[in-house]
Amino acid sequence: MKKKFLCPHCGGLLSDQNGVHLNVVNGRIDQKGKIILSKELGNYEVKKSPLLGWQNGDQLTVSCIHKKCVLNLVNDSKKAAVVLQEDGKTSRIVFSTVIGDHLTYKIEKDAHVTHYGKANPNEGKDLWSQFTW
């Protein structure tokens, strides 16, 4: 099972064996940095650049490491999306951009939604309709 995480805008590869690499800005303190998310959905361990400060409740602007495409959702900037390719299937992974807010949705083309963390089951279908499939 090889998982590849991609930028939904430029198609650039975001993942390697260490995790999913993203650029972030913490708007509250106007700091930029890099984070690495786990490729395992529902695992909320995050590696971040040592100088990047944050506290629970801070909201990040998340962007792609290739062309700085902003990954926060247009309709809900407290969430961001990446593309997951796994076993020949493509899905969207939506995750919270708020520190300490552990929720993730795996949204498949057939509108099947898997929830992780504190995700709200009612929200999945609504998110599905926001993507172009």
Using rule CB under 5 A, residue 7 touches Zn ion: yes
Give least dist CB 58 to Zn ion, A.
23
CB 84 within 8 A of CB 93: yes
Q: Check residue 9 for interaction with Zn ion (CB under 5 A).
A: yes
3-state helix, strand, coil in the chain (%, to 5): 5, 45, 50
Interface of this chain with Zn ion, residues 13 to 52, rule: CB under 5 A: none
- The reply on whether position 6 binds Zn ion by CB under 5 A is no
Burial bucket for residue 42 (CB in 10 Å: 0-12, 13-18, 19+): middle
Amino acid (1-letter code) at residue 12: G
Q: What is the 3-state secondary structure (H, E, C) of 93-118?
A: EEEECECCCCEEEEEECCCCEEEEEC
Q: Which of 41, 52, 69, 83 binds Zn ion (CB under 5 A)?
A: 69
- Site for Zn ion (CB under 5 A): which residue of 32, 67, 109, 112? 67
CB of residue 57 to Zn ion, shortest distance in Å: 27
Among the residue ranges 45-53, 59-67, 85-93, 99-107, the one whose residues contact Zn ion (CB under 5 A): 59-67
The helix (H) or strand (E) run that includes residue 25 is strand 19-26
107's tokens? 């949204």
CB 96 to Zn ion: min, Å: 20
Q: Which residues bind Zn ion (CB under 5 A)?
A: 7, 9-10, 12, 64, 66-67, 69
